[in-house]
Amino acid sequence: EVQQVESGGGSVQAGGSLRLSCAVSGYTVSRYRMGWFRQAPGKEREGVAAIYNYGGSRYYADSVKGRFTISQDNAKNTLYLEMNSLKPEDSAMYYCAAGKNGDAWYGPLVARSFVYWGQGTQVTVSS
């Protein structure tokens, strides 16, 4: 059974930092394309960061480049998102996503490229 459990969300002030974790069971993260998406109320889900090719390729949305870092710990089978210099506009529900290498690919930060989704963890940034 595939399970993805996000944690690490919370409330911080602008300029603060958080690290999100996505603990995975049922598959090996290093063999999958992995990503973080977010969705704010009234807005579409958007890709934030993704890691592909056994960790060799990383992609970031322009809005988070230089502030967020995606990584994975293969020994712990866990995906991370380090978020620094947080802004109020980063407030959203953050989701961990995974897709099988070789499945249909629509782009590194496109939701359709991923098939497994976690329940999300809330991030709230106050000004």
pLDDT tens track for 42-101: 999 999 999 987 778 999 999 999 999 999 999 999 999 999 999 999 999 999 999 988
Residue type, 85: S
**pLDDT value of residue 54:** 78
In this prediction, residues 100-123 reach a mean pLDDT of: 92
Beta strands at 116-117 and 78-83: parallel, antiparallel or unpaired: unpaired
Rg (CA), the chain: 13
Question: Is the pLDDT reported for residue 11 higher than 80?
Answer: yes
**CA triplet 46, 50, 103: central angle to 5 degrees?**
95
In the block, which residue shows the tokens 């890691």? 51
HEC readout, 22-82: EEEECCCHHHEEEEEEEECCCCCCEEEEEEEHHHCEEEECCCCCCCEEEEEECCCCEEEEE
Quote the CA–CA distance of 93 and 79 in Å, as a whole number. Answer: 16
Residue 55 tokens read as 């960790």
**pLDDT value of residue 49:** 98
